[in-house]
Amino acid sequence: MDNQPAYLANAKPNPAANRAPWYQNTAPAYAGIILWFVFWQDIVNTGTFGGGLAHGIWLPIVSVVVAALLCHFLFYLVPGLLGMRTGLPLYVIGSGVFGARGGIIMPGLLMGLLQFGWVAVNIYFSSLLLSQTLTMVPLWVIMVAWGALATFMGLKGIRYVAKVSTWLPLIPLVILLVLLAKTVGHVKDFSPAVFESGVANTIVNVSGGAAALSSCGIFAFIVTYVVGFFATAGAAGVDFGTNARHAGDVQKGGLFGVTLMMIFTGVAAILIISGVYGGFLLPTVNGAMQVTDSGILSAILGDNVAKLVMFLLALAAFPAACFSSLIAANSFKTMLPKVNANVSVAIGGAVAVVLAVTGVAGKSAAVFGFIGASFGPICGALLVDYFLHGRTWGGAREGFNPAGWAAWALGFTVGVLPNCGVALPLAPVAAFAVGAAVYYAFARLGWQSRVKL
C-alpha cells in the first residue's frame, strides 16, 4: 500500500462544537455567491435575436426554476451531506472517487486552478463597471490593478476583507430590489413583438445578429448558464456541509441559499429587462431602442445614480475575487506543500489578468460552460459513490482510482463539446450524467482501486 499523502494524513474532521445553524453559514454564503452581478446581468443574453425573451417571459422564468432545482438536488445536496456526515473537506472526500494520489490533482489542484478563471471573470466585469466612473484611467490599467490587489489580499489580507464581506452582498440585493420596483409596473406591457417589429435594436444585452433561438434552445441556454455557473460551488458543498449540524441544516441551507436565491435573482433580472422593454424606457435612435449594460441602468436610474450603482456593484464583487485567490492558495498549499504558494498564486493571478485584458474572460457563458464541464462529472461520481456506500463516504482509495478518472475524462469530454463548436444542449447536466453513469459501470465491474485502511 502506498504512503499516506500529507493532505490525508493531516486531515481532521470539523468537530460538532464548531458547527452552526444553516442560516448562519451555508445559506448566506451561497446567497452571496448567487447575488454576484455577473451571474444575473447576462442570464437572458443568448447573443441571438430577442435573447432569452424571444418567446416571452414565462419560458425563461420556468428555465431558471428548473435550473435552480437541478443545482440543489444534483450538484449540491450529496456533497453537502458528505461534508456534514464526515466533517472532512472536498479534497479528502474526493480521494474516495479519484484515489489518494489522484485526489491531489482532482479535485484538489483543479479547484485551485479554476479559481483563477473566476478571478479573471471578476476582473473583467468589475473593471468594466469601474471604468464608467474612472473615465480617465485606461481599462487595462484598472484590470491590472484590480487583479493584483485581489491576489495580494487573497494571500495576505483576507481577514480584513472577511470583516466587511458579510454585509457587501446586501448591495446587489438592494440594487436588484430597487431596479425591480422601478420596472415591474411595465412588465405587463412587454411583448416579444417589440423585437419582431424592429423597435429594439439591441447591441449588447438581449439580442445579436443571429436568428432567434427556439423555445427548447432558450431553455437549454439558461439551464446551461445557471448550472455551469454553480458547478464548482455545488462541489464545494462538501466544505459548506462540514459546518452543518445535521441533514436538516444541509437541506435548508441549500433550499434557501441556493434554490430560492437563484430563483429570486434570475426571475428579478428577467422581469427588470422585460419591464425596460415593456415601458420603452431606453433611448432611441431612428426609432429603435439602444441597449447597453450601462444604458439599461441609466434608463432606469439616471446617469449619475447609474454610475454610483455600477461602482457599488464592483465594490461588492471585490471580496469574491479575494476569496477565489484564497481558495487557490489553500489548494496549492495543501496539495503541493513543497511549492511556494506565493509564487504559484502570483502566476495564477497574472494569468487571470491576461484573460481579462484580452477579453477571454468576458465570454461568461463559455467560461461557465467550461467550469460546468470540469465539475459536472465530479458531482456525478460523488453522488454515485455516496449511494454505493450506503449514503456515506466509503473512505480514500489507493493511488489513482480508474473509475473516477474514467468518469471525469468522459464526462468532461462531453461537457466541453459546446466550447469546441459542437452543439450539445444542457452540456453541464450531460457531463454530470455521463460521469455518474461511467462511475457506476466501473464500480459494478470492480474496476476500482482498494479502499485504504
Q: What is the pLDDT of residues 98-115, one digit of tens each?
A: 999 999 999 989 998 999
Per DSSP bridges, beta strands 284-285 and 288-291 are antiparallel
What average pLDDT does this structure show over 144-148?
95
Quick check: is 2 in a domain? no
pTM confidence score: 0.92
| CA 413/CA 249 separation, integer angstroms | 35
| pLDDT at residue 229 is higher than 60 | yes
Report the Cα 371 to chain-centroid distance in Å: 8
Which of 314, 281, 118 is CA-nearest to residue 205?
A: 281
SS3 of 284, please? strand
Q: How far is CA 73 from the centre of its chain?
A: 16
- Rounded Cα distance between 152 and 268, Å, is 34
- 95 vs 97: CA distance, rounded Å: 5
The confidence score (pLDDT) of residue 352 equals 95
pLDDT grade for 207, boundaries at 50, 70 and 90 = very low
Q: Would you say residue 209 has pLDDT above 50? A: yes
CATH number of the domain at 59, please.
1.10.4160.10
The C-alpha cell at 129 is 463597471
Strands of the sheet containing 200-202, edge to edge, are 200-202, 288-291, 284-285
What number of CA atoms fall less than 13 Å from residue 398's CA on the CB side?
10
> What total of structural domains would you count in the chain?
1
The answer as to whether 334 is a domain residue is yes
Asked whether residue 10 is assigned to any structural domain, the reply reads: no
- Single-letter amino acid, residue 373: A
Alpha helix ranges (H) inside 389-416:
402-415
Q: Name residue 285's beta-bridge partners.
A: 288
Q: C-alpha cell of 304?
A: 449619475
Query: What string of DSSP letters covers 35-56?
Result: T-HHHHHTTT--SBTTGGGTT-
User: What tens digit of pLDDT does each residue of 326-375 get?
Assistant: 888 888 888 888 888 788 888 999 999 999 999 999 988 888 999 999 99
User: Percentage of residues in the chain with pLDDT exceeding 90?
Assistant: 68
CB 65 within 8 A of CB 219: no
pLDDT computed for residue 160 by the predictor: 61
The answer as to whether 363 is a domain residue is yes
CA distances from 6 to 89, 319, 327, 335, 389 (A): 14, 30, 18, 8, 25
Backbone dihedral angles phi then psi of residue 451, each to the nearest 5 degrees: -75, 130
Tell the burial category of 334 from Cβ atoms under 10 Å away from its Cβ (0-12, 13-18, 19+): buried
Angle of helix 303-335 relative to helix 158-165, nearest 10 degrees? 130
Q: Whole domain around residue 83: which residue ranges?
A: 20-445
Q: Would the pLDDT of 1 be above 50?
A: no
Q: Is 47 left (phi over 0), alpha (psi -120 to 50) or beta?
A: left
Q: Count other C-beta atoms under 10 Å from residue 311's C-beta.
A: 16
pLDDT in tens, 65-82: 999 999 999 999 999 999
Mean pLDDT of 119-132: 94
For residue 3, tell me if it sits in a domain. Answer: no
Q: What is the mean pLDDT of residues 150-165?
A: 71
Omega before residue 21 within 30° of 0, cis: no
* pLDDT over threshold 70, residue 389: yes
Nearest to 70 by CA among 376, 419, 447, 434: 376
Q: Is the pLDDT of residue 159 over 80?
A: no
pLDDT confidence of residue 196: 67
- The bridge status of strand 284-285 relative to strand 200-202 is unpaired
- How wide is the angle at C-alpha 226 spanned by C-alphas 148 and 37, nearest 5°? 45
In a domain? residue 4: no
> Which amino acid makes up residue 263?
I
Among 33-47, 159-173, 322-336, 406-420, which stretch is predicted with the lowest mean pLDDT? 159-173
Residue 452 within a domain:
no
Q: Which residue has the cell 495580494?
A: 152
- What's the pLDDT score for residue 357? 96
Arithmetic mean of pLDDT, 154-179: 79
Q: Is 204 a residue whose pLDDT tops 50?
A: no
The answer to the question of residue 296 being in a domain is yes
